[in-house]
Amino acid sequence: METKIRRYDLDWIRVIVFGLLIFFHIGMFFNSWGWHIKNNVIYDWLYLPMGFLSQWRLTALFLISGMGTYFALSYRSGKVFARERLIRLGIPFLFGTLVLIAPQVYVERLVEGQFTGSYFEFYPIEFFKGIYPTGNFSWHHLWFLPYLLTYTLLLAPLFLYFRRHPENRFLNWCRKQIRKKYGLFLFIIPLYFPEAFIEPFFNVTHAYYGDWFAHAHYGIIFFYGFLFMLLREDFWAALDRLKQPALIIGLVTFSLLAGVFWQIEDGVIVHFTEAAVKVTNCFMWLVVIFGYGAKYLNRPSPLLAYCNRAVYPFYIFHQTLIIIFAYFLIEKEWSLGVKFTILTVATFFSCWGLYELVRRFKLGRILFGIKEKKAVETVPEPKVQLDPQLT
């Protein structure tokens, strides 16, 4: 039986962040930001909690994905790894796009008065006419999968080189920096340049082509995930000593964003200053999340084992279900609390029921990327013994 090290804290964080994604997309129905369909009453104050989540939630997912790539490559060849990623990311993406996204676009067109027929009149004829948003064909929330697959395949040769040459000059330099008291914060600097010089010209679209700021930011973060796992003990030690100051800095920088920069007109000086505050705020919350996660969450449980297999199908299903349920609530004169609760409960239990259905069939497990249970023994990675001189 194969034995491998597992970071249960990373599994917990992945499950929690994907769970927050469901709440975030439900919130998009009610807040003032553009989304596929909107409630009859908009709540402007939601920009604050949702703005906080938007600063780090997707970045955290790409960081976890890079970390997961390290563990996957540690016991697979490059060819086996690439084939496994193509299957596990590509098949759910293609199936989800062709089958599960059309209901979202259909409901949106009904709400906007751009289509009046039945769903079976809309699909497959209308759905494949043109590219969203001017047309109908889209991948909507599944954009994460082709982006992740691209970064995985493009960076795999570099990752394999690092695996074969763990003492190369670049990695030794990174180890040297991260061992310094605040050395981990140096990794903020590469994130600043896309934020300052690319973001003003290329808004995030999730359309893949031309989405240069998103590719630069998420690509760097995905690379960081793999890199930090190469630095293992030094990285966990850095998180441990910096998680408390990072919490303070995170609170201060988010307060500056929400209380100052989101309230004033943009300009050259404002933009470059805001970019520095924004990437610092994002990185600080990553340090907080992964630092406290390493301290409190690195332990297995039956609940984690169940959620870890379910989280991917939940992600694939959730937005389609939210939009379908929300369609029947748009004109109801009910409070935010009532509608939010209904959407949360209905979405969660529907995702759960669908997961329980598809996981029982091999085809369902393939289509939704559910890993087969294998006789692989996993043990939690031992806690790092910190050097007193670094604490």
pLDDT tens for each residue of 89-125: 999 999 999 999 999 999 999 999 999 999 999 998 9
Of the three residues 296, 329, 354, the one that is the final residue of a domain is 296
77, 97: one domain: yes
The span from the CA of 343 to the CA of 387, in Å, is 48
Give the list of residues 6+ apart from residue 267 with CB closer than 8 angstroms, or none: none
Check pLDDT > 50 for residue 388: no
191, 239: one domain: yes
176, 273: one domain: yes
Of the three residues 296, 316, 346, the one that is the final residue of a domain is 296
Q: What is the pLDDT of residue 389?
A: 34
206, 67: one domain: yes
345, 379: one domain: yes
Confidence of residue 373 (pLDDT cuts 50, 70, 90): confident
Residue 182 included in any domain: yes
317, 282: one domain: no
187, 64: one domain: yes
Percent of the chain having pLDDT more than 90?
Answer: 90
Q: What is the pLDDT of residue 381?
A: 65
φ, ψ at 188 (rounded to 5°): -70, -35
φ, ψ at 5 (rounded to 5°): -80, 140
The span from the CA of 328 to the CA of 122, in Å, is 19
pTM for the full predicted model:
0.93
Look-up of token digits 């959620």: 307
174, 320: one domain: no
Mean pLDDT of 156-168: 95
Q: What is the pLDDT of residue 266?
A: 85
pLDDT of 185-237, one tens digit each? 999 999 999 999 999 999 999 999 999 999 999 999 999 999 999 999 999 99
338, 277: one domain: no
How many structural domains does the chain have?
2
317, 288: one domain: no
Cβ atoms 181, 390 nearer than 8 A: yes
198, 332: one domain: no
92, 222: one domain: yes
The span from the CA of 170 to the CA of 88, in Å, is 31
Percent of the chain having pLDDT more than 70?
Answer: 94
Residue 132 included in any domain: no
Of the three residues 296, 312, 343, the one that is the final residue of a domain is 296
Whole domain around residue 195: which residue ranges?
A: 58-101+139-296
